[in-house]
Amino acid sequence: MKFLICVASYNEKENISKLIPLLDAQFKKFPKHAFTVLVIDGNSPDGTGAEVLRLAKTYKFLKLLPEKEKAGLGAAYMFGFATAMEEYSPDYIFEMDADMQHDPKDLGKFIKAIEGGADYVIGSRFVKDGSIPKKWGLYRKSLSIGGSYFAKICLWIFAVNDFTSGYKATRVKGYLDKVDLNTIRS
């Protein structure tokens, strides 16, 4: 299968330098799959884009998708998803934060779920072995927990534990390819 990981970034030069080798180590555990990492950079003044280009010389799976200006996290992901489907034709698109909040070691759990037939996988903070980052303050923790609980009640979907997680994978065929990403405003 072909997997593409969208990583939205803004001023993440140091974290990108750590994240890419960790992803490479995980990819090597799944040699029958092809991986691409697409970093959508919001014109970072810290040189994140230049760092991605430098790393791409070593890590051939790494690609840079520069935004003309920072448009926000949701817009960056929509731009990345549209570009991924148009230019790379992956079977699944992952969403992952550049700030090291999402553990690359968990990719194996995602891939096993996908190999088992999952169309959509969410990396939840609210399950066994999940965790909320220690550096988060009370307000952010409350917002995350409260937001997920509120979504469960409003949508009446109780099988999903973490509606606010940014670590997820979605099948393209029959799912993402059915969505007009140009109509989504985030």
Tokens 């799976």, residue located? 61
For the chain, the structural domain boundaries read 2-123+166-183, 132-165
Q: Which pTM value belongs to this model?
A: 0.83
Strand partners, 34: 2
Q: Which residue has the higher pLDDT, 91 or 157?
A: 91
pLDDT at position 12, please? 96
pLDDT at position 161, please? 60
The least confident of 11-15, 136-140, 172-176 is 136-140
pLDDT at 130 over 70: no
3-7, 103-107, 154-158, 181-185: which is most confident: 3-7
pLDDT at position 155, please? 59
User: Rounded CA gap, 169 and 182, in Å?
Assistant: 20
Residue 53, both tokens? 């280009």
CB 40 within 8 A of CB 67: yes
User: Rounded CA gap, 111 and 107, in Å?
Assistant: 6
Q: Which residue has the higher pLDDT, 98 or 159?
A: 98
Query: Per-residue pLDDT tens for 135-148?
Result: 667 766 666 566 65
For domain 2-123+166-183, is the CATH number 3.90.550.10?
A: yes
User: Rounded CA gap, 21 and 105, in Å?
Assistant: 12
Query: Per-residue pLDDT tens for 17-60?
Result: 999 999 999 999 999 999 999 999 999 999 999 999 999 999 99
- Cβ-based neighbours of 43, under 8 Å, separated by 6 or more: 49, 66, 67, 68, 69, 70
CB 88 within 8 A of CB 38: yes
User: Rounded CA gap, 158 and 115, in Å?
Assistant: 24
**Strand 92-97, strand 120-122: pairing:** unpaired
CB 78 within 8 A of CB 69: no
